[in-house]
Amino acid sequence: MASRGFFNAFADVWLLDGVRTPMVDYCGALGHISPTDLGIKAARAALERAGVPGEHIGSVITGNMAPGDFDQFFLPRHIGLYAGVPVEVPAIMAQRICGTGFELFRQAGEQIQGGACEAALVVGTESMTRNPIAAFDHRTGFKLGAPVGFKDYMWEALKDPAAGINMIQTAENLAKKYGITREAVDEFASASFAKAVAAQESGFLAGEIVPVVSEKFELEGYKARGIRLQGKVTEVATDTHPRTSPVEVLAKLKPVFDGGVQTGGNSSALVDAAAACVVSSGTYAKAQGKKALARVVAAAAVGVPPEIMGIGPAPAIRLLLDRTGLRLDDIARIEVNEAQGAQTLAVARELGMDLARLNVNGGAIALGHPLAATGVRLTLTLARELQRSGARYGISSACVGGGQGMALLIENTQA
C-alpha cells in the first residue's frame, strides 16, 4: 500500500503529562456520568499532574463521538471553563472516530508550532453507555401506522452504510484477506488480557489513573456541576474489563457473526472513560522548569478502503516511517488499538511487526475502547511505557471506521 496521506512533523512540541479515568465496562459505575463531566474530571487532574495552571493554557482541544447529553454542543467549552482555563481561551471539538485522540495531539502540535499558543489542553472523552436511543425523522411528524424510528445509536453507528457492513465485519474481511484463524485471534486476545492483568497487578496502570469520586466542579459566577457516584460506590479507581482469559475459555464464545472469528471476548470492550494531556512548546517547558514525558515528533493520517478499515494503522505507520526516515526496528514500543483482534493481527502481519513490541501493557480487547478517549489514552500509556523501559521511540495508532488510519510518533528524549 502506498504511503499517501496527511503528515505533520513537530520540531519542539512536548507531552508534559497526562492522566485518565479508569475505563469501566458500559452500564457500570461511570455509566450515568456525561462525557463532559468525565472530561472535566480528567482535564482538571491532567493540569494538576502536569503542574500547569489553567491560566497558562492557550487552547482547549477536545474530542467526543457519541452525544452523551443534551449539552454536547458545549462539551469543549465546558471542559475548558470547568477545568479552570480562562474565559478568553477558545475550545474546539475534533472528531476522527477512533483516531480522534491522535488528532487532538496533531492539532495541538500544529497550533503550538504555528505560534497560536504555548500550551494546549487535549481531552478525549466518551460515554459508550450514554449513546442515545435516537430518532432523526420525527420532528416532521408520524404517519398513522408508520414505524417508530428510535434506534440504538451505538449499534447503528458501528455500521458503515457505504460498505453496508458493521465494524466487526470489516475485521472478518481482514481475517479472510490475511488468513487469520479464530485460534490465532483468541490467542492474541488471551495475551492482551494477560498483559493488562500484569500491568494492573504491577501498579503500572494505576500510575495513569485518577480515581473518580463524587465531587462538585465549581465555576465562579456560573452553575456548579459535578459527579455523583450512585449507590454505595464511593470511588472508582480501576479498569474493570481485564480478567484472566485462557484461550480455552475464549474459544467457547459464540462469534458475533456466524462463521466469523470475532467474539465478545476478542473484540474491543465497550467502556466509559476520559483521558487528558497537557502539550506545550519546548520554550514553555523550559521556562517553567518542566520535565516532559515525551516529545511529540510527528503525526500521520491516511485513508483506506472502508470495507477493510482496520488495516488503517499499517499505511499510517508506514507514512510516519517514510517521512521521518526511521525503520520499524527503531520503534521500541508500538500501540495499535485493538478494535478487533483480527484487525490488529492484520496490521502486524502487513507490517511484519514483532509482536513482542506491540501493546505490551494490554490493548482494547482487555482494557476497552472509549472511542474519542482512546488515542489520548494510548499515547499517554505509551509515553509512560517508554519512560518505564528506558526506550526511545514509540508509535501509537488506531484504525478508524469509514476507512482511515492515524498514527503518532513520540520520543523519550532521556533514552
> Which residue numbers are catalytic?
98, 399
Report d(CA 268, CA 394) in Å as an integer.
22
In the list 124, 265, 341, 363, the residue contacting ligand COA (rule: CB under 6 A) is 265
What is the contact mask toward ligand COA in residues 218 to 257, using x (rule: CB under 6 A)? Answer: -------------------------x-x---x---x--x-
- Strands 13-20 and 133-134 come out as unpaired
Judged by phi (left if over 0) then psi (alpha if -120 to 50, else beta), residue 111 lies in alpha
Q: What is the three-class DSSP state of 333? A: strand
Nearer to ligand COA, 270 or 383 (CB): 270
Nearer to ligand COA, 206 or 251 (CB): 251
Q: Which residues of 306-333 are buried (b: 16+ CB within 10 A; e: fewer)?
A: bbbbbbbbbbbbbbbbebbebeeeebbb
What is the contact mask toward ligand COA in residues 92 to 111, using x (rule: CB under 6 A)? Answer: ------x-------------
Task: Please answer whether residues 415 and 295 qualify as being in contact, where contact means their C-beta atoms are separated by less than 8 angstroms.
Answer: no
Q: Is 305 in the site for ligand COA (CB under 6 A)?
A: no
Q: Is 401 in the site for ligand COA (CB under 6 A)?
A: yes
Q: Is 200 in the site for ligand COA (CB under 6 A)?
A: no
Residue type, 169: Q
Q: Is 169 in the site for ligand COA (CB under 6 A)?
A: no
Cα dihedral sign, 338-108-43-204: positive
Judged by phi (left if over 0) then psi (alpha if -120 to 50, else beta), residue 54 lies in alpha
Nearer to ligand COA, 93 or 270 (CB): 270
Q: Is 268 in the site for ligand COA (CB under 6 A)?
A: yes
In the list 92, 116, 134, 158, the residue contacting ligand COA (rule: CB under 6 A) is 158
In the list 89, 270, 297, 300, the residue contacting ligand COA (rule: CB under 6 A) is 270
Report d(CA 104, CA 81) in Å as an integer.
18
Which residues here bind ligand COA, judged by CB under 6 A?
Answer: 98, 158, 167-168, 193, 243, 245, 249, 253, 256, 264-265, 267-268, 270, 339, 369, 401
